[in-house]
């Protein structure tokens, strides 16, 4: 069937769609320090210097699907993607932002082999460098080393049909965290009580907002897509496991959650937003320590789309049966009290691999993990994620199991089998040649970028000037050419495409 599309309509769709990053605004236009370079020589000469466009041929129908495959959204107490119910199974990994591309690639490959469709990974490194990489070495200063790593993570995720969840800051001191913000303000390391200045001090809150603003408006150097417009991202966590240590009533943390959630949504209404909490009730943990968190009131903000909780029986002093009840109670409250979807951001059971009874510990972990997946599925939990997936280092050795929660795949064969089986309860498998609407993402910024992939001739200098962010993405990606049809349509004002 032949369809005639007005180019003006195409441009309108591209520029107005939340999927596109075309217009050259101060924030979203072109990468800092980048210059536009006009292609030179003949079309034949240009083609001889680049890979054949035919290697990247996709049908126009695929282009349309890529451009229109949108964001996961909340629908009542569930999630929806492309009109279908969406559920997810994830692995956590914190080291992606400072490790090599080889190590990043392995995690995505291992995650795919486990049947996962989401990775949750850190989007912060404050006041420090980790192996030469930082996001925010000092307050209000944002380092390309961290953001270029995140660019690649998102690029690789899209290639792998994965989505990403990213927390903006850590409650803990690993990689800086909230205490680093307070230290910037006080000039010295904060006490436990001073930690809560993070939630109440206007200067500190301003630094957090500025960081979030930069993060959301960041334009990916691999894809040309602003993070806020990238459907590869499933959602954001305001923080990883936020706690207010001086608050036994919720009056410190809860207003911060509402304020920051509203702020994030004001910039990025596209993505799901979570508070990232552990999910205690009554603002105290099982040891009587103050957390300032309540599963219901801390997630009642209308700007929070999806409730979250974590589950670590070793840390929380829970038996296996209590751990499963932990899930059931929170799933019920999320659905019936909050009226929201819910996901388990982290769960884990410790195994000391060097202990004499390591195999017994591993068997116990496997049993609990199997029951966690089945309980989460039967109670209507929308997503579930284990802590943590690790792989090999660049020297060939396994990344150390520092906290005794690590899963290696396929090395931990029994655990890997259980995770893969558990993931199948949330992520439907796809047959070869069929597209899975749950995992469909796109590395294209729009229909025009998709058209680059079906190209057979020169890249238009006109579009190079007009659509700078997309063009730059096309040059820097592997699929870089634009169809002569699309170029000529600038003058004919119409284009005939065959579906």
Catalytic residues: 241, 346
Coil, strand or helix: which one is 491? helix
CB 495 within 8 A of CB 7: yes
Give the Cα separation of 402 and 299 in Å (integer): 31
CB 449 within 8 A of CB 11: no
Give the Cα separation of 32 and 227 in Å (integer): 16
Q: Cα-Cα-Cα-Cα dihedral of 121, 178, 383, 372, to 10°?
A: 100
Residue spans of beta strands (DSSP E) within 148-299: 163-167, 233-237, 272-274
CB 155 within 8 A of CB 144: no
Phi-psi region of 21 (alpha: psi -120 to 50; beta: other; left: phi over 0): beta
CB 373 within 8 A of CB 425: yes
DSSP state of 398: B
Give the Cα separation of 66 and 435 in Å (integer): 11
């Amino acid at each position: 069937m032949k369809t005639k599309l007005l180019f003006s309509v195409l441009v309108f769709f591209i520029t107005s769609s939340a999927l596109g990053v075309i217009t050259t605004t101060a924030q979203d236009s072109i990468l800092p320090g980048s210059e536009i370079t006009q292609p030179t020589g003949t079309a034949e000469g240009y083609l001889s210097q680049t890979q054949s466009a035919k290697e990247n041929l996709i049908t126009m129908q695929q282009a349309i699907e890529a451009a229109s495959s949108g964001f996961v959204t909340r629908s009542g107490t569930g999630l929806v993607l492309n009109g279908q119910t969406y559920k997810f199974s994830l692995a956590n990994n914190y080291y992606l932002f400072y490790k090599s591309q080889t190590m990043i690639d392995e995690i995505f490959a291992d995650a795919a082999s486990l049947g996962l469709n989401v990775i949750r990974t850190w989007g912060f490194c404050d006041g420090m460098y980790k192996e030469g990489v930082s996001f925010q070495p000092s307050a209000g200063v944002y380092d390309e080393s961290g953001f270029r790593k995140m660019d690649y993570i998102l690029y690789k995720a899209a290639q792998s049909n994965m989505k990403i969840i990213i927390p903006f800051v850590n409650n803990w001191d690993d990689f800086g965290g909230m205490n680093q913000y307070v230290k910037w303000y006080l000039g010295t390391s904060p006490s436990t009580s001073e930690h809560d200045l993070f939630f109440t001090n206007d200067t500190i809150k301003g630094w957090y907002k500025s960081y979030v603003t930069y993060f959301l408006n960041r334009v990916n150097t691999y894809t040309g897509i602003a993070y806020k417009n990238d459907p590869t991202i499933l959602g954001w966590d305001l923080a990883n496991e936020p706690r207010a240590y001086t608050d036994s009533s919720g009056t410190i943390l809860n207003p911060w959650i509402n304020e920051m959630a509203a702020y994030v949504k004001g910039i990025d209404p596209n993505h799901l937003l979570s508070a990232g909490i552990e999910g205690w009730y009554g603002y105290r943990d099982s040891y009587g320590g103050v957390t300032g968190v309540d599963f219901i009131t801390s997630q009642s903000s209308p700007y929070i789309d999806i409730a979250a909780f974590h589950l670590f029986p070793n840390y929380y002093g829970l038996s296996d049966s209590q751990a499963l009840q932990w899930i059931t109670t929170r799933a019920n409250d999320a659905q019936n009290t909050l009226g929201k979807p819910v996901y388990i951001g982290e769960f884990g059971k410790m195994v000391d691999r060097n202990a004499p009874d390591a195999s017994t510990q591993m068997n116990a972990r496997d049993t609990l993990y199997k029951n966690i997946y089945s309980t989460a599925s039967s109670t209507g939990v929308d997503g579930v994620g284990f802590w943590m997936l690790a792989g090999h280092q660049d020297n060939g050795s396994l990344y150390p199991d520092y906290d005794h929660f690590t899963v290696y795949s396929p090395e931990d064969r029994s655990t890997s089998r259980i995770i893969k089986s558990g993931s199948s309860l949330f992520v439907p498998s796809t047959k070869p040649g069929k597209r899975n609407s749950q995992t469909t993402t796109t590395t294209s910024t729009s229909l025009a970028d998709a058209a680059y992939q079906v190209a057979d001739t020169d890249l238009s200098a006109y579009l190079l000037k007009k659509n700078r962010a997309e063009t730059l993405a096309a040059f820097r990606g592997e699929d870089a050419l634009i169809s002569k049809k699309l170029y000529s349509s600038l003058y004919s004002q119409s284009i005939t495409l065959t579906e």
